Amino acid sequence: MTKEQLKEYRALVLESEQLESELNTHLNSSYIGTSIMDGLPKGSELSDTTAKLAIKTIELYAMFNAKKLEIITLRKEIEVCIDKLSPLERVLMRERYILGKDWEEVCVAINYSWRQAHRLHSKIITTLKISP
């Protein structure tokens, strides 16, 4: 496990949230809702457009599901890695790398000073032998 992998997790979560938002917007558009939901064959240009929209929607879902799988896989790796730590150390790692909080918020969450939190973080990095 590297620091880059830890940081990558948060970026993947943000990317997934963007895709999910796009999917919701895409699925809630009035055109898609009316053209796909009526289920009646049109036999015209409209049915071709509806079919294309359905295919693109399915492709978008596939991308979204692939990102979710990547996130779940990386999260599992992180959890396995930090499972060796004490509860406080795990909280620090989750606050910083899973939730993406800045150091001030991490310090508040664990009730440590900035200096104490960084010392604990340094100890964790050494313990886990995480490369920069």
pLDDT 10s digit of each residue in the chain, 132 long? 788 888 888 888 888 888 888 878 767 764 454 445 555 555 555 577 878 888 888 888 888 899 899 999 999 999 999 999 999 999 999 999 999 999 999 999 999 999 999 999 999 998 888 766
What span, in angstroms and rounded, lies between the C-alpha atoms of 107 and 119?
Answer: 12
99: β partners: none
**In degrees rounded to 5, what are phi and psi of residue 122?**
-60, -40
131: β partners: 2
- Residue 131, SS3 per DSSP: strand
